[in-house]
Structure 1
Amino acid sequence: MRVMLITGGAGFIGSNFIRFFLRKNKDFIIVNMDNLNYASNLDNFKDLERSPRYHFVKGSIANHELVNYVIKRHRPDYIINFASESNSDNCINNPINYMQTHVLGTQTLLESARYFWGKHKFQGNRFIQVSTNEVYGSTPNSDVFFSEDTPISPDNPFSASKAAADILVKSYASAYGFPAIITRSCPTYGPYQHIGNFVPTCIINALSDKPISVCQNSPNVREWIYVLDHCVALIRVLFYGKTGEIYNISSGNEMSDFDMAKKILRLLGKPDSTIERIGDSSLPDTRCVLNSYKLKNNLNWNTKFKIEDGLRDTILWYKENADR
C-alpha cells in the first residue's frame, strides 16, 4: 500500500479530494493532517473514521517536530499541501497567521520531506503544492489569460504569502532536484465548502429567502470550477505531471459574481430581485482568468461538469446538510 500525506485535508477541497481519491484508488492509505481552523470540519469524514486506509493527525504544518514525526512514522510516498488560511478577507487585518501557514508551514514540509525522501534520492516521491490563481493578480483587460509563464503579481497579503510559498517550492525543485509540482486553480465550488464563501452564501441565503449581497465593483470576473473537476486535475498532475512544473487549472466558466448569483437563484426558481448591490461602484472592474492549455494538452485533462450540473449537485448537498 502506498501512503499519501494530505495537509489541510479537513477543509473544502481537501475533504472532497480525500473522499474521491480513496474511492478511486484502493491501494492507498491517506494520512490527513489538519490544524482544524474555522473552515475545517471532521464531520466530513465520519464514515471513514474506522477505515484502515484513513488516519487523522491534528496539528499545524508549521510545527517542525510534529511534521517530522508524521513523515517519519507514516513514510508517505506523496504529499499534497492543501493547508491554507482560506479567507483572504481576514488576511488584511491579520496577515501574520497567513505568512506562518503559507510560508513557514510550506518551508517546514519541504525541509522535512527533503530530509527523509533524500535518503533514497526522492525515488517514487511527489510533492504537490496547491496554490491559487490570485498569485497572478488581476487585469482590466478582457483579452488577457494568465499562463504559467506570466510573472506573478500578488496585490494583497494573502496572495503574496501564497506566491512566496510557490517560490519556495520552485526553489527546492531547482536547487535539490526535489520532486515538487505547483498547481494554480481558478475559484472552486462544491459540497463541504464553508458558508463564508461566495457560492454557499448565495445558496443558503436563497434557500432562506434572504437577500444576496454583491459588491458594486463585482464584475470581478473570474472562472469557476466544480470541485470534482479540480480533484481529477490534481490526480493527473500527481501521477503524470513533470517535476518542477506549474500547471494552471481552469474551467472556461467565466462570469461575474452578479451573474453567478443570478444563475444560483434561477436554478432554485428564485427572482433576481433578491440581489442587493453594495459598496463602491467607482472601483475598476477586475478579471483573473487562466490559460490551462498545458494541463489539457500535456496531461489529457478537461472538465466534465457543466456549471449548471455542478451547481445543482452543490445546492442539493446544502439542502441535505443544513446542520453543517
Structure 2
Amino acid sequence: MKVLVTGGAGFIGSAVVRLAVERGHEVINLDALTYAACLDNVAPVARSSLYTFEQADIRDRAALDRILLSHNPDAILHLAAESHVDRSIDGPAAFIDTNITGTATLLDAARAHWEAQGRPESFRFHHVSTDEVFGTLGDTGLFTEDTPYDPRSPYSASKASSDHLVRAWHETYGLPVLLTNCSNNYGPYHFPEKLIPVVILKALAGEPIPVYGTGENVRDWLYVEDHADALLTVLEKGQVGRSYNIGGHNEMRNIDLVRAICGLLDERRPDASPHADLITFVTDRPGHDMRYAIDASRIQNELGWTPSVTVEEGLARTVDWFLDNEEWWRALQKRDGVGRRLGTKA
C-alpha cells in the first residue's frame, strides 16, 4: 500500500511511519515541521527506498494538490494536529486553525483527488483522533464509539470538530473514511512537554516533578507502537464509515504513574534520596478531565486487534529509551515553551 501520513515527524505519526515502512508499505511523510516535529524520529527508515518526505502544511491547498497528484497514494493517514492541552488553553487559535481548518482543507483536497482518480473503492481517508472528545468519566464506565461528544478543552473541542468534518465528507461526498479515537499514548520519541517525559527529565535533573491537583486524574495508557499497529490494522481491515476506539487497557491515576516512573529511575539511576521525594503538587489546569477509559471491544471483535504491551513493561521501555537517547531530548528541550508551565489561564 502507498500511504500518505500527515504529521509523520511527530510522536505518534513517526511510530506509524517506522512501522509501515518496516512492513513493506510505501510511505510519504507530509509534515510542516512545527515545534513538536522532529525528523530524527524517522531516522531509522529515512534511507529506505519506501520512504519519502514532503514538507508542507495541511492548510496549504496548493501544496496538497501537488503532493497528491505527484504520489497518488492509496490511503491518507491523517495525524497532523496541534495536540498539547496546556498550549490550547494559552493559545486556542492555533488549534482551531490547524485541527479544524487544516482538516477541512485536507479533506477537500483528498475528495478532489479521489474523484479525479475515478473514485476508487480501495481508497481510504483515515482520521486519527482522541478519547478526549468524549469529555470526562466518573469512577465507573467506559467510552464507547457511541458515547456522545462532550469536549472540555480547546484542544478536544477542535478534535471533536475535525471528527464531525470527516463524517460529513463521508455522508455528503461519499469519501471512504475511517475514524479512530485513542487513549493517552506514551513511549519512545515522546515530545518532552508531555507528562511522562516531563517526569523522567525532571527527575533526572533533580528538579521538582509537577503533578496537577492531587494527581487523582485517571488515564488509560497506550504504548505508541501498539497504537501504530492498531492504526495500520484499521486502515487495512476497517469498515468504511466506521469508528474504532483504541485503548491500552492500562488505567492508572497520574500520581501512581509518576511514582512508578520514579521507582524505575531509582533502580536505574539511584540518587541520594528516592526520586518520588521530588513530586510537587501544583495548581490544577482549568477544565482538567477527571477520568478517561476506553472500551476497545469493537476493534478486538471485528478486526482482531488487542494491545500487546502492559503499562509496567511499556514504562520500563520508555524510561530506558530516554536514558539511552539524551542527545535527542536535550535538543528538543531548547524549543519554545518546553520546560515551562503552560495552561494556567483561568
The alignment's TM-score, normalised by the length of structure 1, stands at: 0.94
**2:141 aligned partner, one-letter code:** V
Which deviations, in whole Å up to 9, do the C-alpha atoms of 1:20-59 show, x marking residues without a partner?
A: 12112x2x21110111111100122334333221111111
Q: Which residue of 2 aligns with 1:268?
A: 265
- Does the Cα contact within 8 Å between 1:34 and 1:59 map onto a contact in 2? yes
3-state SS of paired residue (1:268): helix
Q: Amino acid of the residue matched to residue 290 of structure 1?
A: I
Report the Cα distance in structure 2 between the residues aligned to 1:112 and 1:91, rounded to whole angstroms.
Answer: 26
Aligned twin of 1:179: 176
1:137 maps to a residue whose letter is G
Counterpart position of 2:9: 10
Q: Does 1:21 align with 2:20?
A: yes
Given the alignment, which residue of 132, 145, 148 partners 1:148?
Answer: 145
1:39 corresponds to 2:36: yes
Unaligned runs of 5+ in 1: none
- Map of 2:120 onto structure 1: 122
Q: Which amino acid aligns with 1:323?
A: E
Q: CA deviation at 1:211?
A: 2.6
- Please list, as runs of the form range in 1=range in 2, the aligned pairs for 1:46-85 lying within 5 A after superposition: 46-85=43-82
- Range 76-85 or range 50-59, more displaced: 50-59
* 1:298 and 2:296 matched: no
Deviation at 1:235, TM superposition (A): 1.1
Match for residue 132 of structure 1 among 130, 133, 136: 130
Measure how far apart 1:280 and its partner are.
Answer: 5.3
Bigger mean CA offset, 108-117 vs 6-15: 108-117
1:194 aligns with 2:198: no
Q: Which amino acid aligns with 1:287?
A: R
Cα 1:260–1:116 change in 2 (3 A) is: same
Return the TM-score normalized by structure 2.
Answer: 0.88
Partner SS, residue 104 of structure 2: helix
**CA offset digits 1:86-134 (Å, max 9, x no partner):** 2221112221211111111111111111111123223221111010111
Matched-pair contact (CA < 8 Å) for 2:220–2:249: yes
* Cα offset, 1:135, TM superposition: 0.4
Q: Which amino acid aligns with 2:122?
A: G
- The corresponding residue for 2:312 is 308
CA distance in 2, matches of 1:65, 1:126: 21
Render the CA deviation track for 1:244-287: whole Å, top value 9, x for unaligned: 11111112211111111011111122442221112259x99711
Q: What aligned pairs does 1:218-237 form with structure 2 within 5 A after superposition?
A: 218-237=215-234
Task: Give the secondary structure class of the aligned counterpart of 1:318.
Answer: helix
Runs of 4+ with deviation above 4 angstroms:
none
Code of the residue aligned with 1:21 in structure 2: it is A
Indicate the larger mover: 112-121 or 184-193.
112-121
Instruction: Report the AA paired with residue 319 of structure 2.
Output: I
SS in 2 for 1:80: strand
Question: Partner letter of residue 297 of structure 2?
Answer: Y
Moved more, 249-258 or 284-293: 284-293
Which structure 2 segments of 5+ residues have no match?
A: 267-273, 329-346
Counterpart mapping for 1:218-257 below 5 A: 218-257=215-254
Deviations 1:55-75 (A, max 9, x none): 111111010000111101100
Separation in 2 of the partners of 1:47 and 1:218?
36
* Structure 1 SS opposite 2:235: helix
Provide the residue aligned with 2:335 in structure 1: none
| In 2: Cα distance, 1:294 partner to 1:71 partner | 32
For the 8 Å contact 1:114–1:178, the answer to whether it is kept is yes
Q: What SS does structure 2 have at the residue aligned with 1:51?
A: coil
Change (3 A) 1:271 1:297: same
- 1:321 maps to 325
Give the number of equivalent residue pairs. Answer: 320
Is the contact made by 2:31 and 2:55 (CA closer than 8 Å) also made in structure 1?
A: yes
**Partner amino acid for 2:22?**
R
**Aligned residue in 1 for 2:209:** 212
Task: Pick one of 147, 161, 168 that aligns with 2:165.
Answer: 168
